[in-house]
Amino acid sequence: MTKNTKPVGIKDVARRANVSISTVSNVLNGTKTVSESLQERVMNAVSELNYEVNMVARGLKSGKTNTIAVIVPSLTSVFFPPLLKSIQTIANQNGYSLSVFGTTGRLEREKEYIQMLRSQWIDGILLSSCVDTDAPDSAEYIDMLSDLSVNGHPIPLICLESAIGPKLDAVVMDDKEGLKTATEHLISLGRKRIAYIAAPTTFSMGKSRREGYLAALKQNELPVDSQLIIEGDYSPVSGYDCMNALLARDVGPDAVAVGNDQMGIGAIRAILDAGLRVPEDIAVIGYNDNFPASLIQPSLSTIHVPKTEMGKMAFELFQRRAENPSASRMLVRLNGDLVVRNSTVAGTDTSWDLRSW
């Protein structure tokens, strides 16, 4: 006679992860911010125990849970708080609560969250994915996201930052045009040997920004020198290391365009540590306009990404898809604005950004 196996419960998950039951609940329901390390411990325990949170019953009567989820690569990156604040504000105004999950840039963790949220019968998902769309095994995953549902009920999924699939609604930046504008700003200042510290090209954003840099050089009849191009990983330390690597090469850049602000700040530090001046010897421009860009010395010129608008548009796309699951796919492409500060033009009148933190 087969002995009945007791179902795995939240207490078992808490015991395996060596955390409190409330911590497990906060991770699974997004009711309170939890550190990425604790999130990882809880999600590892969920995976090891094959624990499924079934909240479908909660929505059986109404057909909805009034909860949406946001999945981003990092909870600690300075880029995401203004975006998340925007989504939370408009979601709350429309009677929705928000659950936020950070993947630490790991696709497997992203997939685990997607499956967990399916079991919770979430009303919708806003996803900043870390999938490499050029990877041979990405098509099956993207197709699954395009047809996400539970018990026959579709779950609208809206892409943030990158349009990873032709069937998925998305709110993205025109990253190619943004980096082209940044590079053309350096060219307008008379800079000829413009290096590029690239955002990771495993992401579509990184590919588009690289295309913008190359397009600016081509349009202005400047040569492309592979020795002036190096790829970072979005972090300040990678910008610092990449800039030092460029300085060690026999290429003598007089300017550098950078794939995001964090790497741009790291690049400025490396230039100053080398005894050079910014912008007199090397001008630097970043991308995103995160709040530290206005606080450092010299302040960082950049391309402003309208994060508040991105969050608002993403929620509106969710509402549109929820109301009409068969509606045609919509791609919203936002434009960035050039923000000139002291890292490209000395003496520019700049002010601290005290509003976004």
Q: For position 136, what pLDDT does the model report?
A: 87
pLDDT at 300: 97
Q: What is the pLDDT of residue 292?
A: 93
Task: Give the residue from 206, 205, 185 showing the smallest Cα distance to 194.
Answer: 185
Distances from the Cα of 272 to the Cα of 124, 244, 268, angstroms = 46, 11, 6
Q: Residue 3 above 50 pLDDT?
A: no
How many Cβ atoms are within 10 Å of 240's Cβ, its own excluded?
A: 21
Residue-by-residue DSSP string for 254-314? SEEEESSHHHHHHHHHHHHHTT--TTTT-EEE-SB--GGGGTSSSPPBEEE--HHHHHHHH
Reported as a single tens digit per residue, the pLDDT across 295-347 is 999 999 999 999 999 999 999 999 999 999 999 999 999 999 999 999 999 99
* Averaged pLDDT, 20-39: 80
pLDDT band with cut points at 50, 70 and 90 for residue 165: very high
SS3 (DSSP) at 31? coil
Check pLDDT > 80 for residue 54: no
Task: Tell me what pLDDT residue 151 has.
Answer: 73
Residue with tokens 């609208």: 156
Among candidates 20, 58, 320, which has minimal Cα distance to 170?
Answer: 320
Per-residue pLDDT at 226 exceeds 80: yes
User: Between these two residues, 197 and 135, which has the higher pLDDT value?
Assistant: 197
Residues with Cβ within 8 Å of 331's Cβ and at least 6 positions away in sequence, in order, are 163, 169, 170, 172
In eight-state DSSP terms, residue 67 is E
Nearest to 207 by CA among 175, 232, 230, 185: 175
When computed from its CA atoms, the radius of gyration of the chain, rounded to whole angstroms, is 22
Can you list the domains of the chain with their CATH numbers?
Answer: 10-173+309-334 (3.40.50.2300), 175-305 (3.40.50.2300)
Residues 6 or more apart in contact with residue 134 via CB below 8 angstroms: none
**pLDDT in the model for residue 161:** 93
Residues forming beta bridges with residue 32, ordered by sequence position: none
* Bridge partner list, 194: 255
For residues 85-99, average pLDDT: 95
User: Sorting pLDDT into bands at 50, 70 and 90, what band is 43?
Assistant: confident
Confidence of residue 31 (pLDDT cuts 50, 70, 90): low
Residue 1 pLDDT > 70, yes or no? no
Percent of the chain with pLDDT over 90: 74
Distance CA 353, CA 268 (A): 19
Lowest mean pLDDT among 32-46, 109-123, 197-211, 253-267: 32-46
Instruction: Please name which of 53, 56, 40 lies closest in space to residue 8, comparing C-alpha atoms.
Output: 53
In the prediction, which pLDDT does 58 show?
Answer: 46
pLDDT at 15: 92
Among 38-52, 56-70, 257-271, the least confident range: 56-70
Closest CA to 49 of 21, 13, 23, 11: 13
CA 297, chain centre distance (Å)? 26
pTM, to two decimals: 0.81
pLDDT at 60: 45
